Every structure is written in C-alpha cells, then in structure tokens.
Copies of this chain bind each other. A is one copy, B any other.
Amino acid sequence: MSRKLMIGAAQLGPITRSETRDQAVARMVALMHQAKARGVELVVFPELALTTFFPRWYFEDQDAIDAFFEREVPGPATQPLFDTARELGIGFYLGYAELVDAADSKQRYNTSILVDGAGHIVGKYRKVHLPGHSEHEPWRSFQHLEKRYFEPGQEGFETWQAFGGTVGMAICNDRRWPETYRMLALQGAELMLLGYNTPIHYPPVPEHDHLQGFHNHLCMQAGAYQNGMWVVAVAKAGREEGCELLGQSCIISPTGEIVAMASTLGDELITYECDLDRTKEIRDHIFNFSLHRRPELYGLIAKPSR
C-alpha cells in the first residue's frame, strides 16, 4: 500500500501587531482552500501563527503579555481552522502561545498541535529549546524574550501515529539542535513538522546575519538525512513590525535534499508528495541505528549538566 502523503507548507507573511486573530485565521483558511485544490492532505503553519511575534518586545504588564496567549484551542478565534479541516478533510499543524490557567498557577508555553482531517487534535508539543534571553536587554535593536515569556516544555519529544505514518513535532530553535531529530527518530518518526519565526538579524553576533538562511537549511537538511526523515519547516516571513524574518520555508526529503521551497516572503503554499517509505532508503542502510549506533559511548549527551 502506498504511503505517499501530499503535504503543504503554508508560509505566512508578516502579521502586524494590530492584526486580529480572526484576520490571521482567515489567511490560514484561504491557504487551506488552496491546499485542497492541490490535493494536499496535511498543511503545516508557522510557529506562533495567530499573532505578531511578540517576544520581540519587553512588556512589564502581564495582561499585555497574556493577550497574545490562547486559553483554549479550539476557541472562538481558532474554530474556523478546525471547521475547515473537517469540511475539506485536511489535517494541520499550528503553532500558538498556550496559557494553562489552573486554579493555583499559570503556565505559558510555545506550543504546536497536530490536527487530523476530521478536525480532532492528535497531539500537542511544547517547545523544548527556548532561545533568547530572560531579562530586558535595551542594547538590542529588538528583544527575543522567549526565555521570559515561556516555560520550557517538560514532556520532551514525542511521536504520533497519524496520516499513515509516525509524525513528530518541533518548533523553531529546536531545529538547530541535533538531539531534536534524534529523539524523534529513535521513536520512529518518519516526518517532522516545524514552524519558525527567525529574525535575520542576530543582535549578539551580527556578523553572522548573512548566514541565517544557510544555517536554517543546514541544520534541517542534516537532521533529515542523518535520521532518514521528511522535514517540513514553515516560516512566518517578511518585514514584521520593523523586524526582517527569514522565509525559505521548505520540504526536505530523507536524503537531505530540499525538494520544495518558498520563494516569497508572503503567504505562500508549497507542496510535495512525500513517500513515507523513502525513510527506509536511509534507515535500513547507512543510518541503520541498531547496526551502527554506539549509545553506550554517548553518555555525556544525556548527562544533566547542573
């Protein structure tokens, strides 16, 4: 039986601070309709896809921060995505800021969900590798306060049986860490879905700015190849509130080749028919883990440093 899955990477252009969730969701619904017309079965949206990338600002007022978070998904603003999924029979990956509002405490995560073509949530992932800093650093031309506004995910990396295969999720900075791909592959992942918001300017080392696109693809192509996985990576792109965000959303095959790539910085759908059986070309041979890995010699990698 064929395990070919038509996937769409639905890049979003910038979302201004004044743009409402309803407006952002309407753009995503439009992309889902485009996807349906191209035979897509699974659409991948960016990280924090419902609002502007708010960690670029320092807010003292917790209510101002919480205004960017979702207390429930689906909720009033996101329900159209679920309705469209069910109507069109298309699944999706969505990144958003998650607020867990318990009686005695609140937790906030940078989260993604995987939704199937019946509109049901299959899995949820909370970002493990939060980049940036936790204190206001006025010397920067913009902030990257993910370490302030989010708690790191405690559940780690998981996989789910969905869309005829084994699917893993990750978010943005996770893609720079080889452990992300390996943890997913060791749990059988054949496909990794990822959204990102990546400023081209990196204030601590601006002399690397021109390498931002190279580094983005380098990490993901290596992760795909070294783990024999499909990787679908989707940007929020373009000039958002004065900050240039990297585009180049892409679909990468288990050989590490970029097989589809966005060529604009706006809302753009790219598609590829991903044969999940092609993972075997890598995982049964050059990277046959059980034949070639030496986990007894990798202890330091999993050794807590503190």
Measured CB to CB, the residues of A under 8 A from B are 128-131, 152, 156-157, 173, 176-179, 182-183, 186-187, 202, 204-205, 207-208, 211, 214-215, 218-219, 221-223, 225-226, 255-257, 281, 285-287, 289-290, 292-306
Contact = CB atoms under 8 A, between A and B. Distances in A.
B293 A302 contact: no
A204 B283 CA distance: 12
Contact of A285 (B205, B256, B292): B205
B157 A297 contact: yes
B131 A255 contact: no
Nearest to A204: B285
Contact of A226 (B128, B177, B221, B299): B177
Q: Identify which of A128, A157, A219, A225 gathers the most chain B CB atoms within 10 Å of its CB.
A: A225
B211 A215 contact: no
Contacts of A294: 128-129, 152, 156, 179
A182 B186 contact: no
B226 A286 contact: no
Nearest to A211: B255
Given A219-B225, A255-B208, A301 B304 contact: no
A285 to B, nearest CB: 5
Given A219-B225, A222-B218, A222-B222, A176 B286 contact: yes
A226 to B, nearest CB: 6
Q: Identify which of A202, A208, A218, A294 gathers the most chain B CB atoms within 10 Å of its CB.
A: A294
Given A214-B256, A218-B256, A292-B131, A301 B301 contact: yes
25 contacts: A152-B294, A156-B294, A173-B292, A177-B293, A178-B178, A178-B222, A178-B226, A179-B297, A182-B298, A182-B300, A186-B301, A187-B300, A202-B285, A204-B286, A214-B257, A215-B225, A219-B225, A222-B222, A222-B226, A295-B301, A295-B302, A295-B304, A296-B302, A300-B302, A301-B301
B305 A179 contact: no
Task: Please name the 5 residue pairs, one residue from A and one from B, whose CB atoms are nearest each other, closest first.
Answer: A222-B222, A178-B178, A156-B297, A302-B302, A298-B302
Nearest to A154: B297
A202 B287 CA distance: 13
Contact of A286 (B202, B218, B286, B304): B202
Nearest to A294: B128
Contacts of A221: 218, 222
Contacts of A152: 294
A281 B211 CA distance: 13
A206 to B, nearest CB: 11
Contacts of A130: 292
A295 B305 contact: yes
B298 A183 contact: yes
A298 B297 contact: no
